[in-house]
């Protein structure tokens, strides 16, 4: 008898082993696959943002820095760090401040106001030119590609609603997890009994 499975036996079992520590049940598998799709999408989105910005300006920015630039430009009104953190669902203020300094140094954003009246950020004339050119490249390359996929625009609307719902679920689960944080240092919690 051959040690190799027959063709029919080979096709009767899954081609990929999908069981792992975050996918012990079918429900866990569905959520885990979505989470890893989100991670890959986020990274792909970051790569796209970097390349699109590089196509229109001699400025290297990470995906989050690029997103920050476009959030500042949104609705053409100045934004505070608190506004930007809220809009991006972020709480890493030191990282936002670092990104803002980088955008200011690149001539894309300016800071105005004071501690008493409130500091706000807005795009410069150069920042406006860059974000407009970015929007043009985005339209020519990304939006045209999306429009060529049948029914994708409708599916994107559904996906956006689903992601907003999941954002709320993740935030609530994070708040609950924070209330159940184990006592002691990380080393004490991870130490085998």
What integer pLDDT is reported at residue 37 of this predicted model? Answer: 92
Q: What is the pLDDT of residues 62-105, one digit of tens each?
A: 888 999 999 999 999 999 999 999 999 999 999 999 999 999 99
**Residue 50 · residue 66 · CB < 8 Å:** yes
CATH 3.30.70.3420 fits 21-133, yes or no: no
As a whole number, mean pLDDT of residues 171-178 equals 93
**Residue 68 · residue 88 · CB < 8 Å:** yes
Which one-letter DSSP state was computed for residue 173?
A: H
Q: What is the pLDDT of residues 118-163, one digit of tens each?
A: 999 999 999 999 999 999 999 999 999 999 999 998 899 999 999 9
Q: How confident is the model at residue 114 (pLDDT cuts 50, 70, 90)?
A: confident
- Domain residue ranges of the chain, discontinuous segments joined by +: 21-133
CB under 8 A, 24+ apart: contacts of 21-26: none
Q: What is the pLDDT of residues 14-63, one digit of tens each?
A: 566 767 888 889 999 999 999 999 999 999 999 999 999 999 999 999 88
Tokens of 34: 């979505």
**Residue 23 · residue 32 · CB < 8 Å:** yes
What integer pLDDT is reported at residue 190 of this predicted model? Answer: 62
């Amino acid at each position: 008898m051959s040690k190799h499975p027959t063709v029919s036996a080979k096709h009767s079992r899954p081609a990929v082993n999908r069981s792992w520590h975050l996918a012990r049940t079918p429900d866990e598998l569905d959520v885990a696959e979505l989470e890893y799709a989100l991670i890959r999408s986020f990274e792909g989105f970051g790569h796209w943002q970097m390349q699109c910005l590089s196509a229109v300006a001699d400025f290297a920015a990470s995906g989050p820095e690029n997103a920050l630039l476009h959030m500042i430009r949104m609705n053409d009104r100045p934004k505070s760090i608190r506004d930007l953190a809220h809009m991006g669902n972020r709480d890493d203020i030191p990282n936002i401040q670092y990104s803002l300094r980088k955008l200011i140094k690149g001539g894309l954003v300016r800071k105005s106001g004071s501690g008493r009246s409130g500091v706000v950020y807005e795009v410069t004339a150069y920042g406006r030119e860059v974000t407009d050119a970015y929007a043009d490249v985005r339209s020519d390359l990304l939006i045209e590609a999306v429009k060529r996929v049948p029914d994708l625009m409708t599916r994107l609307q559904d996906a956006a609603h689903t992601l907003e719902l999941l954002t709320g679920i993740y935030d609530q689960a994070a708040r609950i997890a924070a209330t159940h944080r184990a006592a002691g240092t990380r080393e004490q919690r991870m130490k085998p009994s």
